[in-house]
Structure 1
Amino acid sequence: MNQQVALYERAIDALNRRQWQSAWAMSQKLLESAPNHGGVNFVAGISALEIGHMQAALVHLRRSTQLSPHRADYMAQLARLLVSLRAFVEAHKYADIATEKGVEDAVTADTLGVVYSRLNEHSKALAAFEMATAKQPGNAVFQYNLGTSLLFFGRLDEAEEKYQRCLELAPDYWRAYTSLAQLRTWSVENNNIDFLTSRLEHAEKSLDGLLHVNLALAKEQEDVGDHVAAFKSYVRAKSPQKQARGYSSAKDEEIFNALRQGFDAVEDFSGGSDHEEPIFVVGMPRSGTTLVDRIISSHSSVHSAGELENFPIAVKRLSGSSTNSVADAGTLSALVDMDWAALGRSYVESTRPGTSGFPRFVDKLPHNFLYVGHIAKALPKAKIIYLRRDPMDTCLSNFRQLFALSSAMYDYSFDLLDTGRYYLMFDELMAYWGGRLGDRLLEVRYEDLVENQERESRRIIEFCGLAWEEACLNFEQNSAPVATASAVQVRSKLSRDYLGRWRRYGLDVEPLRALLGAKASYP
């Protein structure tokens, strides 16, 4: 028995030291004699999760919560695993159970903050991150997570303070440099360009440092009007990522072609679920989708659910596809045996409880433009709004932006011309959906919205089947959190400052204009 206790203590120590393989090996030895020990199953579950044995992790973490139902930390880690597996409803359940049981340590609080963020429960996430930093103020990661949560609520000064504190604690926490640069518009008199330049030599020793410090530098160089230097910084930041990720436009072209070919055989876009709550806002990223979401969700009958991954996950699960990717050509074109009503129901149910308090909700995942046909077929009463923005501005903005590194969906954005090729595929696909679905879709042009806000806002609200409310004109007063790249921008009134920004880059964007050809001139 003493040997078993000693082995268990060593396994816990290995777990705390992030020695995952050692912790896994010791937990397997312990399970031979103590299969019903909650702590042993917990060690096995966490170590399995960290080394990528997802099925084993799920088995052992479930078992740990059953054997030790009083442990909030076990519940939180199971929720973390479930949200990574995109089992959102169940993840929400275990996160709430953990919260109700009472969180005693900073790691569990931060874990719950991450889970709630993924579930678009940002008020709960903020409370959890505040708890984590209160319990362990010297942890740089906890400070960064709290800063990002504060940013989502528009509390920019507090977010800046947390990011600065993060860098004081960990100067190599590279993401914080980009986050700080994005918080405000810098001036010639007030900027961090010299500081960021001084960090380049050290930063460029790592791929993450190279990416984030150059992106931060590019943002501040833009702000002070040095667009030639900014473009060079963007290229220095992004080119190594393209190489590391091995992106080729051919893979995306295969997906776009498969979608059109698959839906060519679909003649009838009725017969799905009769749910009418969802309003989908789609389009290229950085084309105004967040702005339209804020306009609609300023209505008293509408909840902003954020950028949900739920619809793509529902398609994946019902497609019968066993590939690793959520959005590959085979999955998106697997339409013959699709139970469309089940797809619609499954999607709406997966958004609960977050969307259950309002008659309507907005799902503004931009890349749902790939799923317009699926949405139209599965949810005939759902509204679909798609954004268009000047092609040059759209492509440049995508290239300038850092999207989720964990998703291959945005791999095109590490090269300006790859982004242009992706835009052309998007443009062709949206023309296809428009031809198939007609007035089931509402096209909104970002420039039209800027130039005539009330007219376009009224048109959007009418399309959604809602009575007009003046609050929809004052979207910047909407206090709901924003967890997108536009989190700062949508806190202000509409401005013409973002129109035609590509022209500031002169010769550097001429290759893009040549690639887009006639499409480069916005009609």
Structure 2
Amino acid sequence: MSKNDIKQLHIQAQQLVNKGRFKEAHHCCLQILSKLPNHPDAHFLLGMIALNMRQMSKAIGLIEVAINNDLNNPEYYAFYARVLSLVNRHKDALIAVDKALALHSPLAVVNDTLAVVLSRLGDHERAVTLFKKAINKQPNNPSFHYNLAASLKFMGEFTLAKNAYEKVISLKSNYYQAHSALAELQLATRESNNIQRLQIELTKVGNDNIDGKLHVCHALAKELECLGEYQKALNILQRGNSAKKKQLNYTIDQDKSLFKGIESIFKDKSLSNKESDCTTDRPIFVLGMPRSGTTLVDRILSSHSQVMSVGESQNFAVELKKLTRTQSSKVLDLDTIAAIKNINFTELGNKYTQATQPVQDQAKYFVDKMPLNFLYIGLIKKALPNAKIIILDRQVMDVCLSNFRTLFAVNFSYYNYAYDLNDCAEYLSLFKNLMEFWQSIYSDELLQISYEKLVAEPEEQIRRLLDYCELDWQDNCLNFHENPSPVSTASSVQVRQPMNANSIGRWQRYGTELDEIQSFLSSKGLM
């Protein structure tokens, strides 16, 4: 095989990877390596294929070989940083970012990739600078503008974020995520709204583009709500959500089995003799139903000088999954629950702490505010006996409605219930039962905070929070809305405002449309 043949194979492999034709690209790379075993880009492209197949360990190994054979390629370091960040090796990812930046790449894709990594690590200020560099090279790339807008939103730069989302839409009107993100940033009025644009876009979304329809329906519903047209808003939400639920083939029975399995492993005493020697008291878990006030409490606590937020970390679930060694595709399922009795809880506590502690490790405590960690309360207490756990409680109808009208991470299976109002109500009932179960075991070690009480009597409830966390009073916690640090959750806009009751009792605006779930929740004694 001549040098020219290898060059052509290399070009072909690059093109095939870009087109997502990974099997053919894989074959080309192997042909190259059969003649040139140290060809750096062949290893790198194989790493990209592994990354797209979610084979993270393999991707890391292949990119490391590429780097060892070419120490001066910033693209290798950029994607190396990306994979490392995806497996929670945050400090290593940051080292790779710095190495890439030191090589001053002119490539837009390198700057965008590095910015995405920095955004994932919470360094949105540096991310914004790099997104802008990428845009300077490719000003008509809508994805770059979308990524820039997201970081600007997380930083609280809402006007600049709106402009960036509008730029995305001007470049590509069917970039549907930009429509839903933009709607969350602004309050529509009769004089200024995007309702006509969204209605036109909705007629253009193909029936097979379920996620596109979902984004447009949520954007349209948000704007209709702002105009007080709650019936229309609910109808359009049901249109988008029902199509998504049908695609997922989801039933609430799937979650019923999961909740039952979690309780069962504690009820049969399988873990009674399992204890952890992990003594750290650094983690503060803030959890509860999504949209119940977890971000608000996170902001209050992280406004304290001794506390730093790590956002919505999935690390506890991921580290548990790794230790169970189950081969199932889901992070938590019945197979994984069954394997929990075989794990070492000291190892789990240490691995979680190592994976989660902030990259800039200056705070005494850190807040992990992944709401769905409520599934793991018993396991958190087993692995991290000195961790603090704060459970948010909110009026049930407001929680159900808020879950239904929030566009969570699309295709993240643990939010599948949110596409149907009845499923929301049943899921909430499961949550309440599980919380009663955890309280029966750990009542003195958990703190429950009412969202409504927090809003009504903020100083009293914040003092309860700080006392439980063994923190002294600081006025910053009462003035949490002035906290300049980034927020990357669905509440990123609301928590930059002073405490208010705007969302309390929202469900009452929808009239008889919510009668069915109200009746169900009443029958469960939750109203």
Indicate yes or no: 2:363 matched with 1:358: yes
Name the counterpart of 1:439: 444
Distance 1:247 1:97 in 2: 44
Residue number among 165, 168, 192 corresponding to 2:167 in the alignment: 165
Asked whether the 8 Å contact 1:258–1:330 carries over to 2, the reply is no
Distance 2:372 2:84 in 1: 23
Moved more, 464-473 or 374-383: 374-383
Q: Deviations over 1:381-415 (max 9, x none)?
A: 11100101011100110010111114111111111
Distance 2:176 2:224 in 1: 18
Q: 1:521 to 1:48 in 2, by over 3 A?
A: closer
Asked whether the 8 Å contact 2:81–2:96 carries over to 1, the reply is yes
- 1:410-449 matched pairs, under 5 angstroms: 410-449=415-454
Residue number among 201, 204, 208 corresponding to 2:203 in the alignment: 201
- TM-score normalised according to structure 1 size: 0.95
Distance 1:256 1:208 in 2: 28
Asked whether the 8 Å contact 1:89–1:350 carries over to 2, the reply is no
Q: Deviations over 1:307-356 (max 9, x none)?
A: 11111111111223232211112323433232111111111111245261
Name the counterpart of 1:381: 386
Distance 1:314 1:338 in 2: 11
Name the counterpart of 2:31: 29
Moved more, 444-453 or 78-87: 78-87
Asked whether the 8 Å contact 1:21–1:51 carries over to 2, the reply is no
Q: 1:420 to 1:269 in 2, by over 3 A?
A: farther
Moved more, 199-208 or 456-465: 199-208
Residue number among 259, 277, 286 corresponding to 1:281 in the alignment: 286
The alignment partner of 1:70 has SS state of coil
- 1:328-347 matched pairs, under 5 angstroms: 328-347=333-352
Distance 2:55 2:334 in 1: 26
Tell me the amino acid that sits aligned with residue 439 of structure 2: G
Asked whether the 8 Å contact 2:88–2:355 carries over to 1, the reply is no
Asked whether the 8 Å contact 2:358–2:366 carries over to 1, the reply is no
- 1:238-253 matched pairs, under 5 angstroms: 238-253=241-256
CA drift at 1:304: 1.0
Tell me the amino acid that sits aligned with residue 207 of structure 1: I
CA drift at 1:140: 0.3
- 1:286-301 matched pairs, under 5 angstroms: 286-301=291-306
Name the counterpart of 2:4: 2
Name the counterpart of 1:45: 47
Indicate yes or no: 2:74 matched with 1:69: no
The alignment partner of 1:336 has SS state of helix
Specify every segment of 5 or more residues in structure 1 that has no aligned partner in the other structure, as ranges: none
Residue number among 483, 487, 491 corresponding to 2:492 in the alignment: 487
Indicate yes or no: 2:118 matched with 1:116: yes
The alignment partner of 1:354 has SS state of coil
CA drift at 1:77: 1.5
- 1:15-164 matched pairs, under 5 angstroms: 15-50=17-52, 56-88=58-90, 90-164=92-166
Name the counterpart of 2:354: 349
Tell me the amino acid that sits aligned with residue 276 of structure 1: D
Distance 1:325 1:173 in 2: 29
Residue number among 246, 257, 262 corresponding to 1:254 in the alignment: 257
Distance 1:332 1:215 in 2: 34
Identity value in percent: 38
Name the counterpart of 1:392: 397
Q: CA RMSD in A?
A: 1.9
CA drift at 1:53: 5.8
Residue number among 317, 329, 336 corresponding to 1:312 in the alignment: 317
Moved more, 198-207 or 399-408: 198-207
Asked whether the 8 Å contact 2:82–2:113 carries over to 1, the reply is yes
The alignment partner of 2:339 has SS state of coil
Q: 1:355 to 1:310 in 2, by over 3 A?
A: farther
Q: 1:353 to 1:473 in 2, by over 3 A?
A: closer
- 1:495-506 matched pairs, under 5 angstroms: 495-506=500-511
The alignment partner of 1:361 has SS state of strand
Distance 1:270 1:250 in 2: 32
Distance 1:114 1:60 in 2: 21
CA drift at 1:518: 4.4
Moved more, 511-520 or 53-62: 53-62
Distance 2:15 2:349 in 1: 47
The alignment partner of 2:156 has SS state of coil
Q: 1:269 to 1:467 in 2, by over 3 A?
A: farther
Tell me the amino acid that sits aligned with residue 415 of structure 2: Y
CA drift at 1:51: 5.1
Name the counterpart of 1:228: 231
Specify every segment of 5 or more residues in structure 2 that has no aligned partner in the other structure, as ranges: none
Distance 1:460 1:491 in 2: 20
Distance 1:279 1:230 in 2: 37
Asked whether the 8 Å contact 1:262–1:334 carries over to 2, the reply is no
Distance 1:282 1:91 in 2: 27
Distance 1:322 1:371 in 2: 20
Tell me the amino acid that sits aligned with residue 425 of structure 1: L
Tell me the amino acid that sits aligned with residue 245 of structure 1: L
Distance 1:2 1:174 in 2: 43
Distance 2:91 2:413 in 1: 24
Distance 1:274 1:352 in 2: 15
Name the counterpart of 2:457: 452
Distance 1:271 1:20 in 2: 44
Tell me the amino acid that sits aligned with residue 404 of structure 1: A
Moved more, 93-102 or 1-10: 93-102
CA drift at 1:99: 3.1
Distance 1:333 1:444 in 2: 31
Asked whether the 8 Å contact 2:90–2:359 carries over to 1, the reply is no
Distance 2:246 2:82 in 1: 31
Name the counterpart of 2:481: 476
CA drift at 1:232: 0.4
Asked whether the 8 Å contact 1:24–1:48 carries over to 2, the reply is no
CA drift at 1:259: 1.0
CA drift at 1:302: 0.6
Asked whether the 8 Å contact 2:195–2:223 carries over to 1, the reply is yes
Asked whether the 8 Å contact 2:321–2:336 carries over to 1, the reply is yes
- TM-score normalised according to structure 2 size: 0.94
Asked whether the 8 Å contact 1:272–1:377 carries over to 2, the reply is no
- Number of aligned residues: 522
* Runs ≥4 residues deviating over 6 A: none
Asked whether the 8 Å contact 1:89–1:352 carries over to 2, the reply is no
